[in-house]
């Protein structure tokens, strides 16, 4: 059983690695960014609300994000574990996740931090914009997202470090190598598996 999360600045490869780790670990990956984007595409009320924040690189408000995650984590397919990608990003979201898990007598086993230099992140996201046309991947918005990460999400990282469940992995280099590094870090933190 795996209850873990991937955290890191925008463009650090959370989505890229979550997919690969999901395959390797046999666990469901949940990306808050992907759920929002699907809702934006389908023009749901949630999507219409989220789009106004995402387009300018702001966090979608905690109450909206938390309610969505609470709903997703009540699904049958995550009762044996999950890999959360991109959540929590704020202190309030940490509290919410603790509450969701605590009510079921569960707790988070591990948080993996993916790191890369800001300039590399900007370059990657501008590269992605050329392929996907993502509206939040232009330079002004990317720099704002990075700034929010440094101001708010680094506090989340510090919280998990304090709990002793954080492992930091260098996210630079070929994607396959990064996956191997993450797997090795998980093995080191939890040699008997992540419970």
Binding site for ligand B4P (CB under 6 A): 8, 10-16, 31-33, 36, 53-54, 57, 59-60, 65, 86-87, 89, 93, 124-125, 127-128, 136, 145, 171, 173, 175, 178
Tell the smallest beta-carbon distance from residue 10 to ligand B4P (Å). 4
In the bound complex, which residue of the shown chain has the CB atom lying closest to ligand B4P? 33
- Closer Cβ to ligand B4P, 28 or 191, answer by number: 28
Tell the smallest beta-carbon distance from residue 145 to ligand B4P (Å). 5
- Closer Cβ to ligand B4P, 170 or 195, answer by number: 170
Q: Which two tokens stand for residue 56?
A: 């300018």
Contact of 30 with 78, CB cutoff 8 Å:
yes
Positive or negative: CA dihedral 25, 86, 99, 183: positive
Active site residues: 14, 89, 128, 134, 145
């Amino acid at each position: 059983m795996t209850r873990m999360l991937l955290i890191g600045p925008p463009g650090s490869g959370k989505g890229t690695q979550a997919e690969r780790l999901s395959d390797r670990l046999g666990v469901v990956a949940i990306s808050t960014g992907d759920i929002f984007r699907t809702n934006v595409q389908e023009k749901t009320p949630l999507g219409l609300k989220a789009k106004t924040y995402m387009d300018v690189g702001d966090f979608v408000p905690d109450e909206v994000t938390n309610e969505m995650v609470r709903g997703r984590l009540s699904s049958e397919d995550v009762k044996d574990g999950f890999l959360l990608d991109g959540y929590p990003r704020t202190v309030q979201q940490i509290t919410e996740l603790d509450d969701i898990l605590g009510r079921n007598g569960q707790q988070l086993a591990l948080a993996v931090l993916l790191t890369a230099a800001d300039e590399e992140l900007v370059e990657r996201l501008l590269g992605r914009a050329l392929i996907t046309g993502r509206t939040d991947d232009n330079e002004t918005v990317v720099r704002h997202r990075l700034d929010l990460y440094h101001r708010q999400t680094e506090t989340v990282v510090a919280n998990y470090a304090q709990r002793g469940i954080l492992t930091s992995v260098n996210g630079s280099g070929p994607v396959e190598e990064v996956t191997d590094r993450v797997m090795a870090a998980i093995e080191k933190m939890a040699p008997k598996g992540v419970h």
